[in-house]
Structure 1
Amino acid sequence: MAHKYKPTKNDLFIVSYPKCGTTWTQQIVHLLLNRGVPPAKTLLFSKSIPFLEVCAPTQDDTDTHVRAFKTHLPVQLAPFDDQSPAKYIYCIRNPKDCLISFWFHEKDFPLLLCDNFQQFFTAFMSGKTGYGDYFDHLIGWYRQRHRTANVLIVHYEDLKTDIEKQIRRIAKFISNDLLEQITDDKDFLDNVIKYSSFEFMKTSTNGQMKKFFDQSVDDMESDGEIVDGFKDAFRDIKSNDNLISFGDHRWPNPYP
């Protein structure tokens, strides 16, 4: 189980409540760890930066390279405690924008069975969207902000306002050496900026995600580049299995 994973000093977790900038930050981290080269397909994130709840990693204390993971787990369920040697990037977004983005995400990628915005709003405000209450999630992680050596707070709005500054913050947080690399190599930095821009993410990444969720289970099963954990989750979504009840609607269970 994801919450039982014991982090190592080379682990880096990208954390947020859903629709608060996780994928955007994930793209930046991937580019920083791969010399500015984007993944050929968005779903290859499932290999380069696994989704912890779907693809729980094997324990590896000998790996000397940064291993990055994505998670939406609240702090009390995440692999995190006062003694954790890992690093954590927590992404924050205005709750109103998070709500609206979450709603449109569910309309495009029907992971939740919900007929209208009012029902979704009620679920969101009741903390019934799968990852609990937005504000509890935020407060739990935000209280760790004083741990500057291994917790970095990134605001979605700052990514939109000055992405280069945020890229440099994230690079420095990962390592001073990485910050020096993007400072000394203009092409490296320019590519990270280009392939993590809002415009690129909106057209390329979102389009690829929609194409993935629109495909059939058989097509997904035959794709050798998708890890088994992601296939299991996709299969459950398509079959409406493993869902949480909320009134007359059912919601994905992030803690199976």
Structure 2
Amino acid sequence: MTGRPEMFDFEGISMVHYFTENWENVQNFQARPDDILIATYPKAGTTWVSLILDLLYFGNTVPERQNSIPIYMRVPFLEAVLPKIPTGVELADNLPTKPRLIKTHLPVQLVPKSFWEQNCRRMNVAQPEPGDWSSYLQKFMDGKTVFGPWYDHVCGYWEKKQTYSNLHYMFFEDMVENTEREVERLCSFLGLSTPKEEREKVTQSTHFDVMKQNKMANYSTIPVMNFSISPFMRKGKVGDWKNHFTVNQDNQFEKHYQEKMKSTTLKFRTVI
């Protein structure tokens, strides 16, 4: 089993080597005008949106994809250099589909310039996900998690959205509350005239419990994932933080959150 990587400072944020070893090629990646970039903070619903988009675009035209090609090959992780699979850049460059669906966890300032120059569409899914626990909570508040501070990540894309019309912001809470509504909004953003029956089919196919059991979607076939510790897909719930925070931690985090978010119009819900 591959050992845990060490974090280090890189371009102003915390990183691990899996996402920096191909940096020159990542930054020089040539986007196309019809590319769709799924830009998220880690554990924020990335796979959910990836699968929804793949089904919307290719569920009928290339149905065999769903049963034979893992999601990380259909929607490459641009900056990733992982064992036993091609780099994210190589996978993206060789995607046979149009549009190309590409995933990144990079903060807005590190996204390759060509994505902005080509006016590509993108969407950002955002949801704070604490993980495992007391020391991690402190690291989270200190911004010492991989891909940098959550606050900078979600606010950076939110501010970009104010001047960049091809950016669609999605919230995990909204998707859990009403997936069909959010799929409809996504289709509208993308200019897709997908029939209601097809949207309903996509919604059913991307129910959390269905995705969690789908080997082509749940990352169980990727070498760096140790499912004996934890599945890649956790619970798909909103409000699970109540099962982790002590009263003191909740008070401490609430003060920290309010301070960090006081200068933005971006608003999140923590319960639905």
**TM-score, normalisation: structure 1:** 0.65
Return the offset for 1:165.
1.0
CA distance in 1, matches of 2:151, 2:186: 24
CA distance in 2, matches of 1:143, 1:51: 24
Structure 1 unmatched runs, 5+? 104-116, 216-256
Return the offset for 1:168.
1.2
8 Å CA contact 2:70, 2:219 repeated in 1: no
**Bigger proportion of residues as helix:** 1
Q: State whether structure 2 residue 121 is matched by structure 1 residue 87.
A: yes
Q: State whether structure 2 residue 173 is matched by structure 1 residue 140.
A: no
CA distance in 1, matches of 2:152, 2:178: 28
Pick 1 or 2: higher relative contact order, CA cutoff 8 A, min separation 6: 1
AA aligned to 1:190 is E
CA distance in 2, matches of 1:87, 1:20: 19
AA aligned to 1:86 is C
Taking structure 1 as reference, are residues 167 and 148 closer, same or farther at Cα in structure 2, changes over 3 Å only? farther
CA distance in 2, matches of 1:172, 1:123: 38
Taking structure 1 as reference, are residues 2 and 214 closer, same or farther at Cα in structure 2, changes over 3 Å only? same
AA aligned to 1:145 is K
CA distance in 2, matches of 1:74, 1:160: 24
Counterpart for residue 172 of structure 1? 188
How many pairs were matched up?
Answer: 191
Q: State whether structure 2 residue 77 is matched by structure 1 residue 51.
A: yes
Matches within 5 A, 1:21-100: 21-35=45-59, 37=63, 39-40=66-67, 44-54=70-80, 55-57=88-90, 65-80=98-113, 83-93=117-127, 95=128, 98-99=129-130
1:38-85: per-residue Cα shift (whole Å, max 9, x none)?
Answer: 7226x712221111112114787xx89211101100001012475342
1:186-220: per-residue Cα shift (whole Å, max 9, x none)?
Answer: 2x2232011112332344369943464248xxxxx
8 Å CA contact 2:125, 2:171 repeated in 1: yes
Taking structure 1 as reference, are residues 199 and 56 closer, same or farther at Cα in structure 2, changes over 3 Å only? same
Counterpart for residue 195 of structure 2? 182
Aligned with 1:152 (options 161, 168, 176): 168
Counterpart for residue 146 of structure 2? 130
**TM-score, normalisation: structure 2:** 0.61
Q: Cα RMSD (Å) of the superposition? A: 3.1
Q: Secondary structure at the match of 1:70?
A: strand
CA distance in 2, matches of 1:189, 1:67: 20
